[in-house]
Chains A and B, each alone.
Chain A
Amino acid sequence: MSVELPFQISIPDSKLDLLRQKLALTEFPDELENTGWNYEEAKLNQDLPQFTKDIDVNGFETLNIHYVHQKSSLANAIPLLFVHGWPGSFIEVRKILPLLVQSSPQFPAFHVVALSLPGFGFSEGAHKPGFAPEQYAEVAHNLMLSLGYHEYVTQGGDWGYLITRIIAHKYGGKHSKAWHTNFPLATPLNFSVNPILFLQHLFTPYTAAEKAGIERSKRFEKEGQGYFHEQSTKPQTLGYSLADSPVGLLAWIYEKLATWTDSYPWTDDEVLTWVTIFYFSRAGPAASIRIYYEFIHSANGSQPSSFEPTIPLGVSHFPEELRITPRKFVHSVGNLVFQVEHSTGGHFAAYECPDELVDDLREMFGKQGPAFGVVPGKNGYEQRIRANL
């Protein structure tokens, strides 16, 4: 049994000094000089109860994992694992956390675990090659078990989508009971694989939103995938720039923050906090992008369809997501029981549209919802005391 240790972000002054030294060599010192990191660090530590724990991974070294963990005041709240992506981090749980743990007769409450994926935030990164999405899934699942959550549900976008899909496939039924995603990547329908869906799709006209989404997806494919290609083939080469240049790292990440969101009004400090987590991450900024390489080179790389989960799936569509999956395709992602379309919001749904995302989860897992009571004994509501007859 590995020991849970409380964790506070605490970047040493020597590292801050080195960062300032590098920034002083660039041409825009004024904006970045007063990063106010110490203030942001304190706020993060205040808002997000954090811990670390050693987690075993089959075939790899034990990894010390950093995570946010907050229990609801309601004892039988639904255990929920939140999995971020790239260039995200545990910070993406920040706004939904206080809402999810809330207890009310109107909606279910959740106990929330938001891990830093290995190589991100303050989690250790793997040192051996071959640490692929399946391993990330194993870490996340083992973390839930080690916290006593043998049955749980998940929410994820970006890499969190694939990782929670793998969790749903490998640990679904027994452990993972339902999964929700805002990034339902689906491969185009194939007549021989899903004949009914294929025909339904053929005869269902695209909505205006789907058409716009398809255009957006095409543009992303044409103009927006350079980072994916480089990160999945030469992450080390790129990594030298990201590790050595805070300005380079800032540009690399900020480009995504701006273009992948739906006109989200990022403040400079928000952006800098987000990027600083990468800059001061435990494994260094070059580590996080290795997941792309390992994914492409893994046995199941580029074939998410080899994972076929059967547990209930909920999907929230946000219009400025990178790839839009037409409605009929979504059925091929999993056992779709819940689907909502929003009119605003982008890739970082939990951060951009926390209220909408939480509403969706409350609806999916709520008393009238299709996944109500999916975790036995933990339906997220106050237990009603029945009088003994």
Chain B
Amino acid sequence: MSNSFKIAVSSTALSALKSRIESATFPDELDDAGWAYGVPLADMKRLVARWRDGFDWRQEEQKLNNELPQFTRDIEVDGFGSLNVHYVYKKSDRGTGIPLLFVHGWPGSFLESRKIIPLLTKGSGDSQCPVFDVVAISLPGFGFSEAPKKKGFSLSQYVEVSHKLMIALGYTEYVTQGGDLGSRVTAGIARRYGGMHSKAWHTNVLFSMPPENDDPSSYTASEKEGLARWQEFQRSGSGYFQLHSTKPQTLGYSLADSPVGLLAWIYEKLVSWSDNYPWTDDEVLTWVSIYWFSRAGPAASIRFYYEVAHSGQALGTKSSPPTIPMGCSLFPKELIRIPKSWYPGVGDVVFEAEHDKGGHFAAHEQPELLVGDLRKMFGKGGPVYGVVTGRDGYN
């Protein structure tokens, strides 16, 4: 049974946050540090001042509730009992929408569906344009979903809960879109439920290991550059990944106790992973507030990394690729870029689009481009048109 949900942060929580922000203590900064050592002090002071004085959570909360129809329902997960899952759910305005499950990542949330939902559900006014029924889940431990209480809730479980949500909504067949951790979850869905339930999947981040007979001398210049960026990311931008994957609890004390610490932790990625996206302070603060006010608290979400790393499902573990058709959208500032010769390890790529702007948070940074790709992929004349029985996105 689904329950309609409205975000309603208690006034106790709001005033507790205010007290912490008011007693915020800042570190110093090295001269002319810029972004080299992490988030610059000036950015932090400005954001915290806004958080303290001007940012109006109630207004943001109301806007979110108005724009995004939200629900919760209990989903059984094998070995973990029932979890109350929060999700956004909007049917297409017309016709029979293609059921699309959108899965966010970290430090994202259901919020990342905000801009693409109107485009996906309304269409473009062009009758050739397909429409979608969109489900944007809050992964367990994120947003307003419950977190698992037991150890070992790993990729398989995120896959299971996401699939079961679609089934519970009456969609025995559906398609998926995901980036960041969402890409791993939707790949897992494609593997386990592909064919019978998941009919096609789209992602904005591709990852696989190189094939056996890989020949690096055949890489194009842009492929080499992409790999170099990935290596640089591992060298200088993946400290968070190592910490999340090994000591999430230790880090969690900071994230749960200090809104300033949480803000820095997330904001660093919002800026460094996007393609010069002009974040407004309120946008950032709304994004971070979702973590601060999340049902399970800010320390819960990062356990995802630990569980995946310790369950034999770490990135790079060999596994056979899903067989259902897949599409990908390549944005230049995405963190990982693999050479085309590695694609067979990812899946059966039937649609690929490359863009000259946009980064890691594709749905938020370039909603029109991303939705344009989904329309091409799933629409009439596209490679997976009609892939969901009886729900082709048209009248």
Chain A positions within 8 Å of B, measured between CB atoms, are 18, 21-22, 25-26, 125-129, 222-227, 229-245, 247-252, 255, 283-287, 290, 293
Contact = CB atoms under 8 A, between A and B. Distances in A.
B23 interface: yes
Contacts of B245: 226
Contacts of B251: 252
Contact of A129 (B32, B39, B237, B250): B32
Contacts of B33: 129, 236
Contact of A241 (B23, B242, B261): B261
Interface stretch (B141-149, B167-175, B263-271, B281-289): B263-271
Interface string B16-46: 1001100111111111110011111100100
B31 A129 contact: yes
Nearest to B16: A25
A197 B68 CA distance: 68
B80 interface: no
23 contacts: A18-B23, A26-B257, A128-B30, A129-B36, A229-B238, A229-B243, A230-B242, A233-B235, A233-B237, A234-B38, A234-B240, A235-B38, A237-B38, A240-B26, A240-B44, A241-B255, A244-B261, A247-B254, A248-B253, A248-B254, A248-B258, A251-B253, A285-B27
B247 interface: yes
Residue of A18, A22, A127, A244 with most partner-chain B CB within 10 A: A244
Nearest to B44: A240
B247 A255 contact: yes
Contacts of A283: 28
A288 to B, nearest CB: 11
Contact of A237 (B19, B235, B249, B264): B264
Given A226-B239, A248-B257, A248-B261, A236 B23 contact: no
B249 to A, nearest CB: 8
Nearest to B266: A237
Given A236-B38, A239-B27, A25 B19 contact: yes
A126 B264 CA distance: 23
Given A128-B30, A238-B239, A287-B28, 8 more contacts: A25-B16, A225-B242, A237-B37, A240-B263, A241-B262, A244-B261, A245-B257, A252-B254
B260 A226 contact: no
Nearest to B41: A236
A234 B242 contact: no
Residue of B40, B44, B260, B264 with most partner-chain A CB within 10 A: B264
B243 A226 contact: yes
A243 B39 contact: no
Given A227-B247, A284-B27, A233 B253 contact: no
Interface of B: 16, 19-20, 23-33, 36-41, 44, 235-240, 242-247, 249-251, 253-255, 257-258, 260-265, 268
A233 B258 CA distance: 21
A236 B237 contact: no
B326 to A, nearest CB: 32
A251 B250 contact: yes
A230 B243 CA distance: 8
Given A238-B38, A244-B24, A226 B246 contact: yes
Contacts of A129: 30-33, 36-37
A240 B260 contact: yes
A223 B244 CA distance: 11
B260 A244 contact: yes
A240 B258 contact: yes
A225 B44 CA distance: 27
Contacts of A21: 23
A226 B247 contact: yes
Contact of B243 (A25, A26, A227, A239): A227
B239 A236 contact: no
Nearest to B24: A244
Given A226-B242, A240-B26, A240-B27, A252 B261 contact: no
A371 to B, nearest CB: 39
A248 B253 CA distance: 5
A233 B254 CA distance: 18
Contacts of B247: 223, 226-227, 255
A18 B239 contact: no
Residue of B243, B246, B253 with most partner-chain A CB within 10 A: B253
A127 B37 CA distance: 13
B239 A234 contact: yes
Contacts of B24: 244
Given A25-B20, A234-B268, A245 B250 contact: no
Contact of A293 (B25, B37, B235): B37
A238 B264 CA distance: 8
B214 to A, nearest CB: 26
